[in-house]
Amino acid sequence: MRLTLRIDDPFGFETLLVLHRVWILLLLDVATRAVIGYALAMGREYNKDDVAAALQASLMPHTARASKIPALAVIPGGGFPSEAIPGTAWACWGTFRFDAAKAHFAKATLERLTQVVGCTTDNGPLGQKNECALIERFFDQIASHFAHRLPATTGSSPRAVERVLNDVGEKASLMMTLDELEDVIDVVLANYNGESHGGLGGRTPLEAMQYLLAKEDGLLRTLPMARRSTLCPLQ
């Protein structure tokens, strides 16, 4: 999608820059489908630093954004695990699965990840998309129910009908700003965690996580206090 970035220069004038691509990098819990953390990256491609930022955001307690959009709010029962479920802040995972994108293979990031989180890494069988079915299905849902409905969306292809219906031409003022998009994405992901999805017995991802933790007596491996004080544990 196209969106604008508003910049105020030293003379007090506002400049609008048009951005053409935003990446959402997130970690999805396989057992419950819950989004545990995410980071946004701007540009034609994302890099190893963006991946590290997403990993770090998934470890640290999530802080809700103070939205500038009136009436934009998280639904009851929504949110991120680290906010909604006591004890899940700083929780570590056992296995980190990722696909074969080049930015995912940065040696320094993977070494820090395994040392800090204490997990194994697995990029799955090469070229087998079904091995990442959960995350693929998640992004299909985000695209169809969110991204392709926004003004100035570029759709999924040059001939996509959404591209034509939501084209704003050169009227940059009709595009969303980056700040607005960040606010909306935070709420969309928090709401996703509070909505029921198939395969969870009618539960929401947050309810499924609460259920499984109660079943396992709440046993979670969390990041030691000494490591938490490091500002950038994964960068």
pLDDT tens profile 199-215: 788 999 999 999 999 98
In this model, does residue 19 exceed pLDDT 80? Answer: no
Residue 17's DSSP bridge partners are 5
Euclidean distance between CA atoms 196 and 156, whole angstroms: 26
**Domain limits, the chain:** 3-226
Report which of 90, 58, 53 is spatially closest to residue 234, judged by C-alpha positions. Answer: 53
Let me know: does 195 contact 208? Beta carbons within 8 Å. Answer: no
Question: In whole numbers, what is the pLDDT of the chain averaged over residues?
Answer: 79
Nearest Cα neighbor of 103 from 27, 154, 142, 48 is 48
- Per-residue model confidence (pLDDT) at position 131: 53
Q: At residue 144, does pLDDT exceed 80? A: no
pLDDT band at 235 (very low <50, low <70, confident <90, very high): low
**Model pLDDT for residues 45-99, shown as the tens digit of each residue:** 888 889 989 999 999 999 988 887 788 889 899 999 999 998 899 999 999 988 7
Q: What is the pLDDT of residue 153?
A: 53
DSSP string, 30-60: TTT--EEEEEEEESSS--HHHHHHHHHHHHS
Q: What is the per-residue pLDDT for 180? A: 79
Topology of the domain comprising 3-226: Nucleotidyltransferase; domain 5 (3.30.420)
- 2-11, 118-127, 143-152, range with the lowest pLDDT: 143-152
